[in-house]
């Protein structure tokens, strides 16, 4: 009986990690199949590199990350 209870407790955690697997798999497939998504990903990487290069302030980082997240949403 105790073994079955232990298995029931592990299932939600396994489902939680499996959902991340499917999410990252979907992002990867989108990257491989969608030209605009690749362009936006490269643009976001360039913006982040420029942010490090120019030493932008924490408030400016928040704006950059918010705008990049909005672009991907």
Say whether pLDDT at 30 is over 90: yes
* Residue 5 banded pLDDT, cuts 50, 70, 90: low
Is 43 within a domain? yes
Number of H helices, E strands in the chain: 3, 0
Q: Is the Cβ–Cβ distance between 27 and 21 less than 8 Å?
A: no
| Residue 26 within any structural domain of the chain | no
For residue 19, tell me if it sits in a domain. Answer: no
Domain count across the chain: 1
Does residue 61 surpass a pLDDT of 90? yes
What predicted TM-score, i.e. pTM, was given to this entire model? 0.69
pLDDT exceeds 60 at position 3: no
Q: Indicate whether 12 belongs to any domain.
A: no
Burial of 2 (0-12, 13-18, 19+ CB in 10 A): exposed
For residue 14, being part of any structural domain is answered with no
Which of the four pLDDT bands, split at 50, 70 and 90, describes residue 31? very high
Please check whether residue 9 lies inside any domain of the structure: no
Per the CB < 8 A criterion, the answer to whether 38 and 31 are in contact is yes
Which residue segment(s) compose the domain that 72 sits in? 34-73
Whole-number Å distance between alpha carbons of 50 and 63: 14
Position 13 scores a pLDDT of 82
């Amino acid at each position: 009986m105790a073994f079955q209870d232990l298995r029931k407790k592990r299932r939600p955690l396994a489902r939680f990690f499996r959902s991340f697997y499917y999410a990252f798999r979907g992002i990867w497939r989108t990257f491989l199949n969608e030209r605009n998504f690749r362009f936006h990903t490269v643009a976001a990487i360039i913006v982040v590199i420029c942010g490090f290069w120019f030493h932008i302030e924490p408030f400016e980082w928040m704006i950059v990350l918010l705008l990049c997240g909005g672009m991907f949403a």
